[in-house]
Structure 1
Amino acid sequence: MRTDDGIPVEAVYEPCTADVGAAAETSSDRAAIVIAHGFTGSVDRPAVRRAAGVFARHAAVITFSFRGHGASGGRSTVGDREVLDLAAAVRWARALGHRRVVTVGFSMGGSVVLRHGALYTAPTASGTAAAEAAGRAGQDEAGAPAHADAVVAVSAPARWYYRGTAPMRRLHWLVTRPTGRLVGRYGFGTRIDRKEWNPVPLSPVEAAGLIAPAPLLIVHGDQDPYFPLDHPRMLADAAGDGGELWLEHGMGHAENAADESLLGRIGDWATAP
């Protein structure tokens, strides 16, 4: 795929593995789930492949590597320009004929699906707010087919620049220091942009309040070492009646901590009528 700002992004499409049933059923009758991985992840990481395998029992699946990750081009902006990568993946799903597309993001990917859900609205959206959001995201005001019909954010932060836990302090060192970026490149295979955000993107908690009428599911572990429980609660409060919150007992962080049972429940939610 290629993004609106010209970055090549590696991506994989997997058809649904469930029994199709009626012979007349086509790909457009099945949902597609687009997976947005966490920071330092990629399309071929075992946890991403495990999630894709479980989700494929429910829907077609698109996995991709964010810019600066895996075989994709560009440099990671740690959640800012990555919204364009996700938009390209959603457009691809719709170009393949899928009428319903659900985005599922983990950690950094969770913040990206929240912002994407707020900035890329359905073609029926109208009014000044929708036009402004479309312009900010690089989407034409007529409504390009890059919107999500439902959004799932797993282990997502609520606010930027959070340093309240040791893992997040280490992550900020990785992103902001030259030595850290070398570790990111050679230790984690992640090429990180050295430029600071300008302007600072819409925060996840602000985005959560703008996703409705598309449904939003927020999933978070009560043993998450990166983001404590005030993060998912802030997101759920911002989403109001349009959001649903699952606090998972004993779960750690993101795709590495999401077991098959949880992934199956997310797949059920994503494909429910």
Structure 2
Amino acid sequence: MATAAATVTGAALTATAVTFARAVVTPRRHKPDDLEVLQVGPHRVVLSATADTVVPGRYGVWTDGGRGHFRVGDVLETGRDRVTRALLGVDAGVPVPGAGRWNQYYYAGDPAVALGLAHEDVLVPGDVGALPCWSVPGPAQGASDTWAVLVHGRGATREEALRAVPVLHAVGLPCLVPAYRNDADAPGAQPGVYGLGDTEWRDVEAVARYALERGARRLLLVGWSMGGAIVLQFVARSDLAGHAAALVLDGPVVDWFDVLDHQARQAGVPVRLGRFGLHLLGHPLGRRLVGVPGPVDLRAMDWVRRAEELHLPALLLHSDADDYVPSGPSQRLAQARPDLITYVASSTARHTKEWNVDPQGWESAVREFVTATLEAAA
């Protein structure tokens, strides 16, 4: 009887660990509305108060199932269940009371629509198929032979990278903004799950090859969240890594164990059980339960442990208020490599929203780092 009970308990615990691990690697295709537009005026909008809508900064709101979009700025008033913000612009549709979804990217659309910058929609050949990519040329005068490759985070879209394009364009860099495997607008890689950077770096390699074949000599790699993990794997594993000149990392995942321990606590899963799920990702048999095509080695993506292997200058921006990827590992990595890493801390922004809270400060830090680093490497 006791043996049977223990077997049932063990099976239940394993199922919980598998469910947690599957959630980590499975793309979320449907993102539900998460706020209410309560009132709309000529220069202000009243939204339901949520953890996101009360934070200072610039953001966007999708409405009408994603067909409408408007942008908001300063918090003007707050109440128990509502927040009034400045209405900065309407990009699509007509804002009216109803359901909406928060847009941390601020911008919506492609570079031409969102930024007024000419771009070309290109398809980059990759090993899983053709990868959609926005190609934004540098300015006509002073274009650089260093190209920027901008890599969005887990479950995000290419729009996440739009916030960085204007400042990089202003310093003369052509920009490539690719989708990668298992994005909604990119080829799927069987069985349709994330590799947490362990597989996606090959798509960055394909984009790097595309840039080098078209005149780039050096590459600036920019990554948000899991995008940071992806570009770090590129510089560690790609034959083209020698062309990388520098990194810009915003809220990056530099230690998956720390991130996923945090996620387990938030989900009410015991950390030890969450760790068992992560162990399954790397186990030759356990990974089949999770559904990943090959073992995922999270230790190989622990850059706090691998700090001495870094060889490129990096700008690392991370908020202590990050609710998804805690800033502790980024701080420890910066402390381990002060010779290479310029660390910019903040205290208000939620995950990868450092630009939103302080766009001038974010752009100034990026401009100064990129200009100084590329001049030193010239």
Tell me if both proteins adopt one fold, taking TM over 0.5 as the criterion.
yes
Q: Deviations over 1:199-229 (max 9, x none)?
A: 51512414543231x2122211121112333
Q: Does 1:113 align with 2:211?
A: no
Aligned to 1:69: 183
Q: Does 1:265 align with 2:365?
A: yes
Shift of 1:104: 0.7
Counterparts in 2 of 1:257 and 1:197: CA distance versus 1, 3 Å = farther
Query: What is the CA–CA distance in structure 1 between the aligned matches of 2:265 and 2:245, rounded to whole Å?
Result: 31
* Structure with greater strand share of residues: 2
Query: What is the CA–CA distance in structure 1 between the aligned matches of 2:195 and 2:331, rounded to whole Å?
Result: 26
The alignment partner of 2:125 has SS state of coil
Amino acid at match of 1:210: E
Aligned to 1:88: 206
The alignment partner of 1:90 has SS state of helix
Query: What is the CA–CA distance in structure 2 between the aligned matches of 1:78 and 1:168, rounded to whole Å?
Result: 20
Aligned to 2:152: 37
Shift of 1:267: 3.6
Q: Which of structures 1 and 2 has the larger relative contact order (alpha carbons within 8 angstroms, sep 6+)?
A: 1
Q: Does 1:223 align with 2:321?
A: yes
Counterparts in 2 of 1:57 and 1:108: CA distance versus 1, 3 Å = same
Q: Does 1:195 align with 2:292?
A: yes
Q: Deviations over 1:60-99 (max 9, x none)?
A: 1110112111321123323210111111112222222122
Aligned length: 220
Amino acid at match of 1:66: Y
Amino acid at match of 2:152: H
Q: Deviations over 1:88-147 (max 9, x none)?
A: 112222222122210010000011122222223xxxxxxxxxxxxxxxxxx3xxxx4774
Aligned to 1:12: 134
The alignment partner of 2:130 has SS state of coil
Aligned to 1:242: 340
The alignment partner of 2:206 has SS state of helix
Counterparts in 2 of 1:119 and 1:263: CA distance versus 1, 3 Å = farther
Q: Contact between 2:128 and 2:181, CA under 8 Å: does it hold in 1?
A: no
Query: What is the CA–CA distance in structure 2 between the aligned matches of 1:98 and 1:237, rounded to whole Å?
Result: 32
Aligned to 1:132: none
The gaps in structure 2 that reach 5 residues or longer are: 1-123, 278-289
The alignment partner of 1:9 has SS state of strand
Counterparts in 2 of 1:51 and 1:66: CA distance versus 1, 3 Å = same
- Stretch moving more, 261-270 or 67-76: 261-270
Query: What is the CA–CA distance in structure 2 between the aligned matches of 1:167 and 1:56, rounded to whole Å?
Result: 39
Counterparts in 2 of 1:81 and 1:197: CA distance versus 1, 3 Å = same
Query: What is the CA–CA distance in structure 2 between the aligned matches of 1:211 and 1:64, rounded to whole Å?
Result: 24
Rg comparison, structure with higher value: 2
Query: What is the CA–CA distance in structure 1 between the aligned matches of 2:241 and 2:235, rounded to whole Å?
Result: 13
The alignment partner of 2:244 has SS state of coil
Q: Contact between 1:91 and 1:146, CA under 8 Å: does it hold in 2?
A: no
The gaps in structure 1 that reach 5 residues or longer are: 121-138, 177-192
Q: Does 1:149 align with 2:249?
A: no
Query: What is the CA–CA distance in structure 1 between the aligned matches of 2:325 and 2:241, rounded to whole Å?
Result: 32
Query: What is the CA–CA distance in structure 2 between the aligned matches of 1:110 and 1:159, rounded to whole Å?
Result: 11
**What is the aligned counterpart of 1:158 among 248, 251, 254?**
254
Q: Contact between 1:33 and 1:102, CA under 8 Å: does it hold in 2?
A: yes
- Identity, in percent, stands at 22
Q: Deviations over 1:208-256 (max 9, x none)?
A: 43231x21222111211123331112222343522221112322212x4
Moved over 4 A (4+): 166-170
Q: Does 1:56 align with 2:175?
A: no
Amino acid at match of 1:36: V
Q: Does 1:209 align with 2:305?
A: no
Q: Does 1:98 align with 2:220?
A: no
Query: What is the CA–CA distance in structure 2 between the aligned matches of 1:95 and 1:267, rounded to whole Å?
Result: 26
The alignment partner of 1:67 has SS state of coil
Counterparts in 2 of 1:209 and 1:217: CA distance versus 1, 3 Å = farther
Query: What is the CA–CA distance in structure 2 between the aligned matches of 1:2 and 1:152, rounded to whole Å?
Result: 25
Q: Contact between 2:134 and 2:177, CA under 8 Å: does it hold in 1?
A: yes
